[in-house]
Amino acid sequence: MSALLACLLCTAAGAATEPPSARGYDALRAARRIASLGPRPAASTAERRAHGYVARVFRKAGLDVTVQRFPVPGRGRSRNVIGLLDGPRRCLKILMAHTDTTAPGPGANDNASGVGVIVALAKRLRAIGPRCDVWLVATGAEERIYTGQPDHLGALALARRARARGAKRRLRYALSLDEVGRDRPFWLRSPAPAPRRGVERALLRAADRAGVNAVWAPDGSDSNSDHREFELLGLPAAKLGVGAGGEPCRHLACDTPSRLDRHSLTLAQRLAERALRGHQCHPARRCAGFASSDRHKASSRRWQADSHASERFASMMRRVSASLHLLVPLRTTVEVDRLRDLARGDLRRRRPG
């Protein structure tokens, strides 16, 4: 009962200091600026410039900034730009977005959109008042099609860093924002067999409260992103991104800033802000106070109905995309084959701890 009272009080206190809703202008401006740099392959000058811009914004916002460098075999060096906000330290949330692209795409939706949201979040992070430590990260070298590596190199380095800093114990989730600049409703993807308490369910609840339409679907060959590296190290992670139908301009020259939709960016940012403000139930433990509320029971029933519907929808879309496979352009087919080979490698391989 006292836990319930404490939770109600903290919710009331949170509501009193809640910053005005995100409007997406900052995210759109940042996404356009990053996309205007053109293709940003891993370890390129353009990727470094985009990272430099993010680091400047993070510093200006008062975050502790760390640049984590790592090699990209045969290409040079890339980096993750990490902006850290110190919270109570009993928990950690990571929000990340990859900065690099696959040429010839200028990567507006894939993924200046995600980095734009990260940049906008940095400016509002103190006002949001997260109750966990937060790492906002612009990762590098995510595009495996370009690096030819089996891993998303930036995310792998980041996940190892998080693990070395107690993530096994305190990471609630690492959320990759990837292609959030148009074509909502968003899909939340993860390799879990069903939405987990404190991870997908917490994120869907945040979406629900922020008035954002998002559904969960299990990972497929079209949803590879930075979250994979965390999961392979046993750390909870998911990806928020484009929904049914995928991004038709992914890795193509048509992925231009003019296609970005401010409202999509606003919704992605709102969802992220809600998630950062959310209560801090540990995935493996009962959430004191909250689980017993009628509201939670109602939303949990609604979630179960929604998730069954989204699973049916996702499996239907997989069947449709499999039957369309022969119709997609050769270039995309080659990419699908390459990613399928990489996915087979995933199955064979168990990364050593």
Binding site for Zn ion (CB under 5 A): 110-111, 178
Which residues are CB-contacts of 174 (< 8 A; sequence separation ≥ 6)?
93, 94, 95, 96, 158, 159, 162, 226, 227, 230, 235, 236, 237, 238
Q: Closest CB to Zn ion among 200 and 226?
A: 226
Smallest gap, in angstroms, from Cβ of residue 303 to Zn ion? 27
Q: Closest CB to Zn ion among 107 and 195?
A: 107
Question: Residue 1 burial (CB < 10 Å; 0-12/13-18/19+)?
Answer: exposed
Q: Closest CB to Zn ion among 61 and 119?
A: 119
Smallest gap, in angstroms, from Cβ of residue 330 to Zn ion? 21
Cα(324)–Cα(118) distance, rounded to whole angstroms?
34
Q: Closest CB to Zn ion among 26 and 222?
A: 222
Smallest gap, in angstroms, from Cβ of residue 144 to Zn ion? 10
* 163 in Cβ contact with 174 (< 8 Å): no
Q: Closest CB to Zn ion among 112 and 210?
A: 112
3-state secondary structure of 102: coil
Q: In terms of residues, how long is the chain?
A: 353
Smallest gap, in angstroms, from Cβ of residue 109 to Zn ion? 8
Smallest gap, in angstroms, from Cβ of residue 313 to Zn ion? 22
Going from the C-alpha of 319 to that of each of 185, 240, 309, 348, the distances in angstroms are 20, 22, 16, 25
Smallest gap, in angstroms, from Cβ of residue 259 to Zn ion? 15
Smallest gap, in angstroms, from Cβ of residue 179 to Zn ion? 6
* 195 in Cβ contact with 303 (< 8 Å): yes
* 95 in Cβ contact with 247 (< 8 Å): no
The verdict on whether omega for the bond into residue 80 sits within 30 degrees of 0, i.e. cis, is: no
Q: Say which amino acid occupies 60.
A: K
Q: Closest CB to Zn ion among 178 and 222?
A: 178
Cα(143)–Cα(151) distance, rounded to whole angstroms?
9
Q: Closest CB to Zn ion among 26 and 110?
A: 110
Smallest gap, in angstroms, from Cβ of residue 147 to Zn ion? 13
Q: Closest CB to Zn ion among 111 and 147?
A: 111
DSSP string, 261-330: -HHHHHHHHHHHHHHHHS----TTS--TTTTTSHHHHHHHHHHHHHHHHHHHHHHHHHHHHHHTGGGS-H
